[in-house]
Amino acid sequence: MNLTAEQIQENWNELMDYINEYISEPRKEKLLAFYEQYAERIMLMPAAHKKEYHNAFPGGYVEHVLRVIRCSLRQAGLWQSEGCDMNTFTTEELVFSALNHDLGKMGDEEQEAYIPQTDNWRREKLGEDYMFNTKVPFASVPDRGLFMLQSHGIQYTFNEMVAIQTHDGLYDKANEKYLMSFMPEQKPRTSLPFILHQADLMAARIEFEREWLPKLKEDKKSVDAGKGNFTLGNKPNMSKKTSTKTKALGSFKSEGLKNIFDSL
């Protein structure tokens, strides 16, 4: 999938709108300053390094985060309708956690975590349009994201810390200490981590289906014409307002980012 420059800018504006609407002062100002400082990088980041995962394209990260925020708010409503105790976390904590759950994918202050793949074979045969930047010291995505927040003076609550740490659920063995305890006093005392995990899982699955189900459907047709008579839904309208490419791009300092946008 490819996003237009206008869609990338519109998604970024929507992300800033969530911060303005749901995050309170004083950390709203610091959070906006942080995202503005790294706007060029975050705006163009992929959500993953290879196509078999999800949203591995310029602007894919922000689009994924927006979907996780929307899914989190809707999942919270579902949990509430089934009797979940909604007094154990706030809506701000929910949106903050969703907003920053994958922040560690940005890399560190100086280096991007994902850079364009230089190995043509891996790009063509393995679908790896990006590769990991070895100049960035290793850290898990949640750990790096939390470090980036605290290093810029952005405080987070205990609930937010646990939710961000465990957003991958039991797909990450490191989360077993939080999620596999059989002692009541050691279980999470809020459903926030479970709501965020389900929202992230839902978003990633939808993004996978959007990318791969049409391709798999075509493969099936070529092998066995006439089978698989399901139909996919309409492609969602990603643009909410029109703007010129010049207005969307703005003035970028990085020549690499300019080249990427010029090709959109």
Model pTM score? 0.81
The pLDDT tens digits of the residues spanning 60-100 come to: 999 999 999 999 999 999 999 999 999 999 999 999 999 99
The pLDDT tens digits of the residues spanning 222-243 come to: 666 655 555 555 554 544 444 5
SS3 per-residue string spanning the chain: CCCCHHHHHHHHHHHHHHHHHHCCCCHHHHHHHHHHHCHHHHHHCCCCCCCCCCCCCCCHHHHHHHHHHHHHHHHHHHHHHCCCCHHHCCHHHHHHHHHHCCHHHHCCCCCCCEEECCCHHHHHHHCCCEEECCCCCCCCHHHHHHHHHHHCCCCCCHHHHHHHHCCCHHHCHHHHHHHCCCCHHHCCCCCHHHHHHHHHHHHHHHHHHHHHHHHHHHHHHHHCCCCCCCCCCCCCCCCCCCCCHHHHHCCCCCHHHHHHHHCC
